[in-house]
Amino acid sequence: MEAFTTHTGTAVPLRRSNVDTDQIIPAVWLKQVSRTGFEKGLFAAWREDPTFVLNDPSYEGGSILVSGPDFGTGSSREHAVWALQQYGFRVVIAARFGDIFRNNSTKMGLLPVVLPGDKVEALQAAVEAEPKLEVTVDLVERQVRWADEVVPFEIDDYTRWRLMEGLDDIGLTLRHADDVATYENGRQPWLPTTV
């Protein structure tokens, strides 16, 4: 995956809560067997509304999505992450994320940033007042910065390190293949196989 250290760009305020992954990428888009082309399906139903924020030219080119709480709930579809990335987003900021979405994001190098609800609200308001406001998401310092604001965020050291190095989890795990083999030899004898 692409390494993430710090990113500066403009933001898109998404004033919705419970943004489930069915909204981020509707199921009809999940029939593809490739990993590309999902940007066309991003928020496909909502984008039909001309007033939807992604249709507002003032936010064109935004790379930081700032959403209401409970972003990425529901279905485990990683296609939601691919769609956001392929559309051009590098960061999603929200007060709460669905666990699976958050996990999928960190596997792909899309940074999910949890900020307190009032800070999300403040950032949305700042961006609405000034759509071309420069926003920096700094994974090294664990900060989101805009105008005079500096807001810290939490992320565990291991995930941060993986993101900053752009490391592939499978490669990391395969270094411990011996541990896996040892564990396998001690598994309970009644556990089923699919054979």
Partner 1 sequence: MGRTLAEKVWEQHVVRRAEGEPDLLYIDLHLIHEVTSPQAFDGLRLAGRKVRRPDLTIATEDHNVPTVLGPIADPVSKTQVETLRKNAAEFGIRLHPMGDAGQGVVHIIGPQFGLTQPGMTIVCGDSHTSTHGAFGGIAFGIGTSEVEHVLATQTLPAYRPKTMAIEVSGELPVGVTAKDLILAIIAKIGTGGGQGYIVEYRGEAVRKLSMEGRMTICNMSIEAGARAGMIAPDETTFAYLKGRKHAPQGELWDQAVEYWKSLRTDDDAVFDKVVEIDASTLTPFVTWGTNPGQGLPLGESVPDPESFDDPVARSAAERALEYMGLTAGTPLREIEVDTVFVGSCTNGRIEDLRSAAEILRGRQVKTRTLIVPGSMMVKKQAEEEGLDEVFKAAGAEWREAGCSMCLGMNPDTLKPGERSASTSNRNFEGRQGKGGRTHLVSPQVAAATAVTGRLTAPADL
Alpha-carbon distance of 92 to 66, in angstroms, equals 6
Q: Does 18 bind partner 1 (CB under 8 A)?
A: yes
In this chain, which of 53, 78, 87, 131 binds partner 1, going by CB under 8 A? Answer: 78
Alpha-carbon distance of 95 to 187, in angstroms, equals 40
Residue in this structure with the two tokens 């270094």, named with its chain if needed: 175
Contact of 105 with 81, CB cutoff 8 Å: yes
- For residue 12, give the nearest of 70, 60, 51 by alpha carbon: 60
Alpha-carbon distance of 68 to 92, in angstroms, equals 10
Binding mask 79-108 for partner 1 (x = CB under 8 A): x-x--------------xxxxx--xx--xx
Q: Does 9 bind partner 1 (CB under 8 A)?
A: no
Binding mask 50-69 for partner 1 (x = CB under 8 A): ------------------xx
Which range in 5-13, 24-32, 84-92, 126-134 contacts partner 1 by CB under 8 A? Answer: 24-32
Q: Does 34 bind partner 1 (CB under 8 A)?
A: yes
Enumerate residues 6+ apart whose C-beta is below 8 A from 71.
19, 92, 94, 96, 97, 98, 101, 112
Q: Residue numbers of the site for partner 1 (CB under 8 A)?
A: 15-18, 20, 22-23, 26-28, 30-35, 45, 68-70, 73-79, 81, 96-100, 103-104, 107-108, 117, 156-158, 169-170, 172-174, 176-177, 179-180, 183-184, 187-195
